[in-house]
Structure 1
Amino acid sequence: MTAVRSDTALRIDGVSRFFGSGAARVQALDNVSLDVRSGEFLCLLGASGCGKSTLLGLIAGLDAPTTGTVDTTGRRAGMMFQDSALLPWLTAGGNIEVPLRLRGIRRAERRERVEGLLAMVRLAGLADKRPHELSGGMRQRVSLARAFAQEADILCMDEPFGALDAMTRDLLHDELERIWRETGVTVIFVTHDVREAVRLGDRIVLLSSRPGRVAEIFDVDIERPRRIDSARVAELATEVTTRLREEVGRHGH
């Protein structure tokens, strides 16, 4: 096996994943290989059921491949889901504090870190709010802060803005890009929205329909900051969409 370069945050080598057994056995991923650079913003794109979330779970360490390897090169991976998944009986600060407690960080230091993380996602002063007192966008910001509380070097994001309205989603694109630049974290971002992928990504990995394979990789050579409704974003999104339709059509879905 080729040695992993020092600027490689993640190496996926020949990964396949099967679920079930016998006649009910289903293959979700087929021989996926991919290197992700340290500090890269990589978007995973494909039709529903193509294995995007399965691959993300393997990267985050929530599951293991049937064959092949996922090497995070000693880096810590954190996970953020589409649903904010906040514990309703805890405050915003309490939710962010959970991974800090699990890591045995002392109370005074936990409070200081929570305040810093809330400030990072522009929710300073809202530590005592319960999830039901926050908007959908605010809850996702708390979820993002909680992901960073894991001190993740690789942040895995599974359609985190999919349930939000277009305006809130656009604002959170800006916030996520700002935090990504400030922290230098490596982001693996799953989406079914082609324009979102072009708006955010350094590269877009297009997965085939099940079983998921790397069908094509697009470099997004568009200067930042980008607007989701800009002409260049729309042009590349059209190219990616055409390729996605070809892939979906080829598999008869």
Structure 2
Amino acid sequence: MIKVSGLKKAFKNTEVLKDINFEVKDGETVVIIGPSGSGKSTLLRCLNYLEKPDAGLIDIGDVSANTERVKKPTINKLRMQTSMVFQHYNLFKNKTVLGNITYPLTASKKFKKEEAVEIGEKLLGQVGILDKSKQYPVALSGGQQQRVGIARALAADPHAILFDEPTSSLDPEWVGEVLKVISDISKKEKTMIIVTHEMDFAKEIADRVIFMADGHIVEEGTPEEIFDNPENERTRKFLRKYTNHSGSIEEETIEPELVTV
């Protein structure tokens, strides 16, 4: 389970996360939606300490961290509980597709090379690009690179996978293939938190939807509750920008006091 209590984060004088509280059950897929600048990506980055929170409690799996007095060994253990799939892939350009998966396993988790290769090839088969295993990222399409990133995240066998706008950098023709891979993972009851602007996808895949705005969790519920009968006017305003043609949200105008995170 993931449990977050009283999480806060500011950049200089701008509060980006304001007393965030939520839970994610084991095997649950939680999708976070909201306008740009609402703190969605910062929230994910705080969960694995890519950003250091200013305050709050984070529990992931069997690791608990009080962010105001946490020590480095606990941070390292917390990071081991999750894997991140980034917007911009973050692949090692000097390593092959298979090497991008095996290197973290041998370097950080001390797997034998043969074991790492077996895991890597199995996962590349699952995401549909085993035939690209000897190529380098530069030779791949954006959709293929993102599938490598997903396979790498799965290889670590984390408690949860965090997806930060996994399709935002893709050409439209590659979006569907990446969303299908993520959908297939969700059917295996892997704990996932997904930040996305793909509303049709969110409605289809989520067990629960969280709507964030202005650094707060404004509303959360089942996809039916959030998309079909939202209680909060701020949620309704956001969803009015929903386009049935594209299945995604048009960017909102960001309030002057907010920053894009």
The two structures have a TM-score, normalised by structure 1, of 0.80
Listed as ranges, the matches of 1:191-230 within 5 Å are: 191-209=196-214, 212-221=215-224
Listed as ranges, the matches of 1:124-203 within 5 Å are: 124-182=130-188, 184-203=189-208
For residue 110 of structure 1, the aligned residue among 106, 116, 119 is 116
What do residues 24-74 of structure 1 show as CA deviations (whole Å, max 9, x unaligned)? x22111111101111111111111111111100112232332111111132
Relative distance call for 1:236 and 1:89 in structure 2 (3 A) is farther
| Structure 1 residue 18 corresponds to structure 2 residue 18 | no
Stretches of structure 2 that go unaligned for 5 or more consecutive residues are 64-80, 241-251
Question: How many residues are matched?
Answer: 226
Rounded Cα–Cα distance in structure 2 between residues aligned with 1:34 and 1:142:
30
Relative distance call for 1:152 and 1:52 in structure 2 (3 A) is same
Rounded Cα–Cα distance in structure 1 between residues aligned with 2:202 and 2:187:
17
| Structure 1 residue 121 corresponds to structure 2 residue 127 | yes
Rounded Cα–Cα distance in structure 1 between residues aligned with 2:4 and 2:55:
11
2:71 corresponds in structure 1 to none
1:207–1:213: 8 Å Cα contact kept in structure 2?
A: yes
Rounded Cα–Cα distance in structure 1 between residues aligned with 2:7 and 2:34:
17
Relative distance call for 1:63 and 1:46 in structure 2 (3 A) is same
Root-mean-square deviation over aligned CA pairs: 2.7
Amino acid at match of 1:17: K
Share of identical aligned residues, percent?
29
Relative distance call for 1:139 and 1:249 in structure 2 (3 A) is closer
Rounded Cα–Cα distance in structure 1 between residues aligned with 2:140 and 2:229:
35
What do residues 4-43 of structure 1 show as CA deviations (whole Å, max 9, x unaligned)? xxxxx100111111223xxxx2211111110111111111
Rounded Cα–Cα distance in structure 2 between residues aligned with 1:79 and 1:201:
18
Amino acid at match of 1:205: I
What do residues 74-101 of structure 1 show as CA deviations (whole Å, max 9, x unaligned)? 2711111011111111110011112102
2:227–2:239: 8 Å Cα contact kept in structure 1?
A: no
1:108 shift after superposition: 1.1
Relative distance call for 1:126 and 1:17 in structure 2 (3 A) is same
SS in 2 for 1:122: coil
1:53 corresponds in structure 2 to 41
What do residues 204-239 of structure 1 show as CA deviations (whole Å, max 9, x unaligned)? 111122xx11101131249xxxxxxxxxx98679x9
2:6–2:20: 8 Å Cα contact kept in structure 1?
A: yes
SS in 2 for 1:196: helix
1:242 corresponds in structure 2 to 236
Stretches of structure 1 that go unaligned for 5 or more consecutive residues are 1-8, 223-232
1:4 corresponds in structure 2 to none
What do residues 170-205 of structure 1 show as CA deviations (whole Å, max 9, x unaligned)? 2322221112223x2111001133333223222111
1:85 corresponds in structure 2 to 90
1:251 shift after superposition: 6.2
Rounded Cα–Cα distance in structure 1 between residues aligned with 2:145 and 2:186:
19
SS in 2 for 1:174: helix
Amino acid at match of 1:157: F
Larger CA deviation: 185-194 vs 9-18:
185-194
1:6 corresponds in structure 2 to none
2:147–2:181: 8 Å Cα contact kept in structure 1?
A: no
1:131 shift after superposition: 0.9
